Amino acid sequence: MYSILKVKLTLQALELLMHALQISPSNHEVFTQLGQFYERNNLPTKAIECYITALKLVPEYTTAWECIVALYIKTGNTKLIEPLVAQLLNTYANCWQLLTY
């Protein structure tokens, strides 16, 4: 009984996230939440795709950065972290330059 309820709630959560994307297809927060959903349901490849999409939409969105780096560490893809960190530093350097002018 518990597993049936868990599956039903999982499907409902996915439906809600997909509906949110239909309403706001360029919402970086929804993509991050969808990534977290996929990560919790052992779908790391889909999670990474969502985090990357969120970062393409808003490169300075720290929650997506935290999620993707943590997932790369969790899955042992640590070689992929260095380019991400370089990209993150570049993003923030660009933001800092804009603020100082």
* Residue 2 pLDDT grade (very low, low, confident, very high; cuts 50, 70, 90): low
At 83 the pLDDT is: 79
State the pTM of this model. 0.78
Residue 27: left (phi > 0), alpha (psi -120 to 50), or beta?
A: beta
pLDDT greater than 60 at residue 20: yes
At 21-43, the pLDDT tens digits run 999 999 999 999 999 999 999 99
Looking at residues 68-90, what average pLDDT do you find?
Answer: 81
* Residue 101 pLDDT grade (very low, low, confident, very high; cuts 50, 70, 90): very low
Cβ-based neighbour number of residue 12 at 10 Å: 10
At 92 the pLDDT is: 67
In order of their start, the domains of the chain are 2-100 (1.25.40.10)
Question: Any alpha helices (H) in the chain, and if so which ranges?
Answer: 2-23, 28-40, 44-57, 62-75, 81-100
**To which residue do tokens 């977290």 refer?**
36
